[in-house]
Amino acid sequence: MYQSQLFTKTLKETPADEISINAQLLIRAGFIQKEMAGVYDYLPLGLKVLKKIENIIREEMNEIGGQEVLMTTLQNPELWKKTGRWNDQVVDNWFKTKLVGGTELGIANTHEEPITATLVNFVKSYKDLPVYIYQFQTKFRNELRTKSGIMRVREFLMKDLYSFSRTEEEFKKFYEICAESYIKIFKRTGIGDVTFRTIAAGGSFTAGLTDEFQTISKAGEDIVYIDKAKKLAINKEVYTDENIKKFGLNKSKLEEEKSIEVGNIFPLGSKYSDALGLKTKDENGVEKSVIMGCYGIGLGRLLGAIVEVHHDEKGIIWPKEVSPFDVHLVQIENSQKIRKTAEKIYQDLLKTGIEVLYDDRDKSAGEKFADADLIGIPIRIVISERTLAKNSVEIKKRQEQKLKIVKISDVRINIK
Ligand code: ATP
Ligand code: MG
């Protein structure tokens, strides 16, 4: 993409009403825009990152047998009354709306009820299970406070998967497979080293314990106690002697950290399937409950967490797999010769499947470098009169100081 054609521009000033680093940097660099408190738009660069994250998650969900659907945002209260969750005391962050005639509707904050009701239509026998269904869908939550930029918002894209199993054992096996899959997702998105599976409470979903995935960060709203060697943590909300012992942890090895909940997986038992009449018959004709689990990742929360973990005073430092582009090609000076050579490098890279943001703007080198640092693409290629004199370009990694002078013909092999 030609940067001269990108409609967004970078901002020099930090928006005065943003206190979180993720929103400050993402707004300044032109990835997102604020509509109002807790409501953000994704602009071209931001959407590219969001889509990369979505694709990583989709690949991993398909890998474990997930089938993708897209459920509606408007929800039928009757389903939620059956599980007791229409009640505003039980789910305290509902957005609800009304039809012209006055009939109430829900606006999706999660999807256990409609997905379970869907399966009632299709699952007739024991042989129809297990089933794993997921989606990328917008959730609305009437959050009381929204101070963490895009990490706590009132409208956000969530990947939510729901598992339906025949037995507790079958469920547990999948639950562990999904936990492993989450670990992979956080590794691929660049926060694997600082993200820990964490024993936690179940909120309005279940009375039992659940597993969160918590990313160490000063920007986090949670407190967790981590055994880094065991790669297991325990959330402060369930930090009791009983739980520490139950999960084989040792108090002296636990380190307290602030952290961001990037994902959460829940054993649901048969709470929702029983309430909504989802049952199967086993091979002896005996009626059986269906055992469920649900598995969520907030895509914007994850994107924000990546920025919180990977930035410096100059801007964002995108991990490779989620960067909006692979390479930032920066042309200094605007002579015919430079333009022509830069254009050739650009086209050659595109041909080999490398995504390039090509800064062809008529701006000073200083401005271009500052923007490149702010936007945070992991590899920068600079072409100027000076490098061209040596038939070369300069290659620099965003997180490193050192420059490499590379012959133009060798660019491709030098940007691994
Ligand atoms: P929190 O405790 O932070 O309010 P939650 O436990 O209510 O979150 P879940 O119901 O577990 O959230 O949702 C699954 C995932 O969706 C979370 O792990 C998080 O990644 C994301 N998420 C939840 N609420 C928000 C929000 N308000 N803004 C952005 N992402 C969110
Ligand atoms: Mg949660």
Residues 157-216 pLDDT 10s: 999 999 999 999 999 999 999 999 999 999 999 999 999 999 999 887 778 899 999 999
Nearest protein Cα to ligand 1, atom 19: 298
Nearest ligand by distance to the CA of 182: 1
For residues 287 and 166, the answer to whether their CB atoms sit within 8 Å is no
Residue 374, SS3 per DSSP: helix
Distance 83 CA to ligand 1 centre (A): 21
Distance 298 CA to ligand 1 centre (A): 6
Residue-level pLDDT at 293: 98
Taking the CA atoms of the chain, what radius of gyration do you get in angstroms? 24
Residue-level pLDDT at 203: 81
Residues 241-284 pLDDT 10s: 999 999 999 999 999 999 999 999 999 999 999 999 999 998 89
Distance 75 CA to ligand 1 centre (A): 19
For residues 387 and 331, the answer to whether their CB atoms sit within 8 Å is no
Nearest protein Cα to ligand 1, atom 11: 264
Nearest to 28 by CA among 375, 321, 267, 336: 375
Nearest to 315 by CA among 379, 376, 366: 376
User: Would residue 156 be called left, alpha or beta, if left means φ above 0 and alpha means ψ between -120 and 50 degrees?
Assistant: beta
Residues with a beta carbon under 5 angstroms from ion ligand 2 = 264
Residue of 264, 299, 307, 308 best suited for mutating to test ligand 1, as the one with most atoms within 8 Å of CB? 264
Residue-level pLDDT at 175: 98
- First and final C-alpha spacing in the chain: 20
Residue-level pLDDT at 236: 98
Determine how many CB atoms are found less than 10 A away from the CB of residue 354: 17
Which atom of ligand 1 approaches the CA of 213 most closely?
A: 18
Distance 45 CA to ligand 1 centre (A): 24
Which atom of ligand 1 approaches the CA of 262 most closely?
A: 20
Residue type, 37: A
Beta strands in 155-269 (DSSP E): 155-165, 195-200, 210-216, 222-227, 232-235, 255-269
Residue of 152, 204, 303 best suited for mutating to test ligand 1, as the one with most atoms within 8 Å of CB? 152
User: Which residues does a 6 A CB cutoff place in the pocket of ligand 1?
Assistant: 141, 143, 151-153, 156, 158, 203, 261-264, 296-298, 300-301
Query: In angstroms, rounded to a whole number, what is the distance separating the alpha carbons of residues 373 and 66?
Result: 38
Nearest to 326 by CA among 344, 343, 299, 350: 350
Question: 167 φ, ψ to 5°?
Answer: -140, 165
Residue of 32, 109, 158, 306 best suited for mutating to test ligand 1, as the one with most atoms within 8 Å of CB? 158
Residue-level pLDDT at 147: 87
Nearest protein Cα to ligand 1, atom 28: 152
For residues 91 and 85, the answer to whether their CB atoms sit within 8 Å is yes
Residue-level pLDDT at 416: 75
Which atom of ligand 1 approaches the CA of 154 most closely?
A: 27
Domains of the chain: 3-312 (3.30.930.10), 325-414 (3.40.50.800)
Give average pLDDT by consecutive 10-residue segment, the chain, 416 residues: 97 93 98 97 98 98 98 98 96 97 97 98 94 98 95 98 97 98 98 98 85 98 97 97 95 97 97 97 91 98 98 98 98 92 97 97 96 98 96 97 95 88
Residue type, 267: P
DSSP annotation of 290: P
User: Would residue 333 be called left, alpha or beta, if left means φ above 0 and alpha means ψ between -120 and 50 degrees?
Assistant: left
pTM above 0.85, yes or no: yes
Nearest protein Cα to ligand 1, atom 2: 261
- The percent of the chain in helix, strand and coil, each rounded to the nearest 5, is 35, 30, 35
